[in-house]
Structure 1
Amino acid sequence: MKQIYRSRFAFVLGWVWVAFVALNTVDLILRFTGKSSMVALAVLGVLTTIVYTTALRPATVLAEDELVVRNPLRTTYAPWASVTDATVSHSINVHLAGDRTLRLWTPTSSARERAKARRRVGARPQRGRFPTEPTLSKGEQAAAEAFAGKTHADWLGEQITERAEAADRRGEQAAPVREKWAIDSFVVLAVALALVIAALVVP
């Protein structure tokens, strides 16, 4: 079973932008005025390329047999046996066999999120200020304790390390890490480039 992790804020913001672009594209086509409309479409195309590659495409996927890292222009497939460790600073850095480091685009850990995580340490696991309000269940308390002092990136870094260690305990042999160019990103980029050229050519 695959588990997909990404920046929820960036993902939602990206789709809001896509909806905005779709409405404006329809309006520009219906009210086409020549060069000015083409310039507007080209600007929307360039901005959409940036939004797609930085907000919609990036994801970290924990698959059964490998770690899949989708960055803006490349996708990396790292078998768990080839992963040695994961460390977290602002981003998650996955250390691979052969002294290679793979930087994950998402999720990241901002200073604000880390400060918020520190404030959770020692917080009382109870909802509300009044004793009549329901308290957390044992499962919710365990989850709160597991996340105490940790950001989402910290937690995911631990999951990656645990899966790598599990693969090592099973005696799995390190397989080659595969990388592929992100065809979808280049398609979006090509469309934006075509719009820019059209805007320059149309009188």
Structure 2
Amino acid sequence: MTTDHQSPLPDASRPEARDRIYRSPSGIAGGALLLFIVGWLGVDALVSGHGRTPWLALAGLILAVPVVSAFTLRPAVYANDDRLRVRNPLRVIKLPWGQVASLRSHYSNEVVDTSGTKYQLWAVPVSLRARKKATRQPLRGTGGEGRLSSLGRPSSFGRGAAADAPARPETDRIMQELRETAESRATADTAQGEVTVRWAYEVIGPALAGAVLLAILLVTG
């Protein structure tokens, strides 16, 4: 291996940083179950159906499979040192960190660019139930006593110190991690550029074809 020093590669030829990938396990599990049910019913209708039933089943499968996949299996968030890439059901948004104004959490998690446009993070859903559970955990950790320090915070003295610390919901932890990356990389030279939005024609095309075929079959029936 040589150790001679060379000038840095230009930005165009610089390899892209490795992504951190965030997805929803519950969404993936639910999508897999739905696809299994849809596939089972659809294939059964194709094989054992009579008359127009196989055609209706085929149209339904062409429509249902991409739609179910888009809203359950497809959503993902990819983050590296240069940009945030949001893969939502019908769009893919690329935001260099220099274009990210904020990452907000309320009833949904979303990223806001410098122009004020908001994009929802489908792959990082908000769980209000997990938040409520996290806020109740400190009291359970103290055996229901909820002992407070002189500053009004849960006491961290003794064996209950670790239990007193609230466990943050996973999606809140992810959002905090993304905020920290956005803050630290906002002014980096490699994190500048324009926001790009691409429609997911690989999802829209098959779904539209299935919808058209299904409509024709229903109208001509």
TM-score tier (shorter): 0.7 to 0.9
Q: Relative to 1, partners in 2 of residues 1:98 and 1:54: Cα closer, same or farther, differing over 3 Å?
A: same
Cα distance change of structure 1 residues 36 and 89 upon mapping to structure 2, 3 Å threshold: same
**CA shift for structure 1 position 74:** 0.7
Q: Deviations over 1:11-45 (max 9, x none)?
A: 11111222233333332232241213333443444
Is the CA contact 2:83–2:191 (under 8 Å) kept in the aligned structure 1? no
Residue 50 of structure 2: SS of its match in structure 1? coil
Q: SS where residue 25 of structure 1 aligns?
A: helix
**Structure 1 pair 122–81 and aligned structure 2 pair: CA distance change class (3 A):** farther
Aligned pair count reads: 185
- Deviation of 1:93 after TM superposition, in Å, equals 2.0
Residue 11 of structure 1 pairs with residue 28 of structure 2: yes
- In structure 1, stretches of 5+ residues that fail to align are 126-140
Q: Quick check: 1:27 aligned with 2:44?
A: yes
Pairwise CA distance, 1:123: 5.4
Q: Is the 8 A contact 2:75 2:123 kept in 1?
A: yes
State the partner residue of 2:86: 69
- Is the contact between residue 91 and residue 197 of structure 2 (CA under 8 Å) also seen in structure 1? yes
Asked if 1:153 is matched to 2:171, the reply is yes
Give the stretch that moved more between structures: 115-124 or 92-101.
115-124
Choose which of 95, 106, 117 in structure 2 pairs with 1:89: 106
Q: CA deviation at 1:179?
A: 0.6
Q: Structure 1's 41 and 172: CA in aligned 2 closer, same or farther, altered over 3 A?
A: closer
Q: Aligned-residue CA RMSD in angstroms?
A: 2.9
* Native 8 Å contact 2:76 2:122 kept in 1: yes
Where 2:65 maps in the other structure, the secondary structure is helix
Rg larger in structure: 2
Taking the aligned partners of 1:26 and 1:94, their CA distance within structure 2 comes to 40
Q: Structure 2: any 5+ residue segments left out of the alignment? A: 1-17, 143-160
For residues 41-120 of structure 1, what are the structure 2 equivalents within 5 Å? Answer: 41-120=58-137
TM-score normalized with structure 1 length: 0.76
**Cα 1:35/1:179, change in 2 over 3 Å:** same
> 2:10 aligns to what?
none
Does the 8 A contact of 1:71 with 1:104 survive in 2? yes
Secondary structure at 1:39's aligned position in 2?
A: helix
Q: Which amino acid aligns with 1:81?
A: G
Could you say which residue in structure 1 is the equivalent of 2:54?
A: 37
Does the 8 A contact of 2:39 with 2:61 survive in 1?
no
Summarize the Cα distance change of 1:121–1:77 in structure 2 as closer, same or farther, 3 Å threshold. farther
TM-score (norm 2): 0.70
Distance 2:43 2:191 in 1: 53
Does 1:178 pair with 2:207? Answer: no
Looking at structure 2, the residues matched to 194 and 84 of structure 1 have their Cα atoms a distance apart, in angstroms, of: 40
Distance change in 2, residues 1:81/1:124 (3 Å): same
Deviation at residue 181 of structure 1 after TM alignment: 0.5
Q: Secondary structure at the match of 1:153?
A: helix
